[in-house]
């Protein structure tokens, strides 16, 4: 069956998904998403995924947005060509298999955003709500996910969805919060959004993505999250270029609340390989630590 891929015009937002599809930050973020979903699939009980800033879901790497600034070449392009240690290749298999399934010719042309990755790992009993506020991206999202009764694609404010759709009836699942960071207040809003959501559903897994240009915003975010009193918060970061130029995207991080018990070990294995493969001028740097709940581990 043929699949229609909806390509969007060049976005104005700093981190809107279409412009950066498949870059190093996507690779890191999506590898973590897939590890969490693999863990959720280990139990037969149904789970739900809520993607608050879903984008269009699928992206054409040969389209105007990607080709004018082909960040994917230093992201998924490098990873696909890399020789990974066997253990790391196994941990990355769910992610890379989904990418390969969309590119059966062997040439990278289509990149799956988080909704498409989630879709590939949902079972018949599982469900997803994917929210996107920007109207063109929301229309593309609906088309790219149409025909799947397990999924609702909504043109909606993802921050509002945190209150409207929690707790889910399944009682298990993942909330992915991945805003565009077009305004300085988005880092603060991330903390407030998590606080509101956690009050409604304290047993869910939450994954928060953030860009790293320099240290002030990520470090301030960590301080605010520590003050929330949430018992278990794991932080992972990947830096691919020096932080000397704060106008550039030099790295990215993920915060995972209530992480699966396997995730720390998974990331301890994955992050060193990603740092080597995705570093811009030699190997990059990575860090993994607990903001709350476990003995801190830093590398």
Positions annotated as catalytic residues are 178
> Which residues on adjacent β-strands are paired with residue 233?
257, 292
Q: What is the C-alpha separation between 145 and 90, in angstroms, rounded? A: 27
Quick one: tokens of 292? 């709350």
Q: What is the C-alpha separation between 281 and 150, in angstroms, rounded? A: 43
Q: Which residues 6+ apart lie within 8 Å of 241 measured at CB?
A: 248, 250, 251, 279, 280, 281, 284
> Rounded to the nearest 5°, which phi and psi values hold at 109?
-135, -40
How many CB atoms are located within 10 Å of the residue 168 CB? 18
CB 42 within 8 A of CB 119: no
Of 88, 73, 65, 93, the residue nearest 23 (C-alpha): 73
3-state secondary structure of 268: helix
Instruction: Determine the number of helices (DSSP H) and then strands (DSSP E) in the chain.
Output: 12, 10
Peptide bond into 167 cis (omega under 30): yes
Quick one: tokens of 127? 């469900």
Q: What is the C-alpha separation between 134 and 179, in angstroms, rounded? A: 12
Following CA atoms 100, 103, 106, 111 in sequence, which dihedral angle do they give, to the nearest 10 degrees?
-80
Side-chain half-sphere of 114: how many Cα atoms within 13 Å? 36
Q: What is the C-alpha separation between 220 and 212, in angstroms, rounded? A: 12
């Amino acid at each position: 069956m043929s699949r229609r891929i909806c390509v969007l015009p060049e976005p104005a937002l700093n981190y809107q998904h279409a412009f950066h599809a498949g870059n190093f930050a996507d690779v890191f973020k999506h590898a973590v998403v897939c590890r969490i979903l693999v863990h959720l699939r280990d139990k037969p009980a149904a789970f739900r995924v809520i993607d608050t800033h879903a984008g269009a879901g699928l992206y054409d790497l040969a389209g105007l947005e990607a080709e004018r600034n082909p960040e994917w070449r230093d992201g998924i392009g490098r990873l696909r060509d890399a020789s990974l240690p066997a253990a790391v290749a196994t941990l990355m298999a769910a992610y890379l298999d989904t990418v390969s399934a969309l590119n059966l010719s062997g040439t990278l042309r289509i990149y799956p955003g988080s909704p498409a990755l989630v879709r590939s790992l949902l079972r018949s009993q599982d469900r997803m709500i994917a929210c996107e506020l920007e109207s063109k991206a929301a229309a593309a999202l609906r088309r790219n996910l149409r025909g799947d009764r397990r999924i609702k694609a909504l043109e909606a404010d993802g921050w509002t969805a945190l209150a409207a759709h929690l707790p889910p009836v399944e009682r298990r699942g993942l909330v992915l919060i991945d805003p565009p960071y077009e305004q300085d207040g988005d880092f603060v809003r991330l903390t407030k959004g998590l606080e509101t959501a956690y009050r409604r559903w304290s047993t869910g897994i939450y994954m928060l993505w953030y860009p790293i240009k320099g240290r002030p915003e990520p470090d301030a975010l960590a301080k605010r999250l520590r003050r929330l009193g949430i018992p278990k918060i794991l932080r992972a970061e990947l830096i691919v270029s020096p932080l000397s130029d704060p106008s550039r995207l030099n790295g990215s991080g993920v915060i995972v609340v209530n992480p699966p018990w396997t995730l720390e070990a998974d990331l301890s294995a994955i992050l060193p390989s990603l740092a080597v493969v995705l570093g811009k001028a030699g190997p990059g740097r990575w860090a993994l630590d607990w903001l709350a709940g476990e003995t801190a581990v830093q590398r």
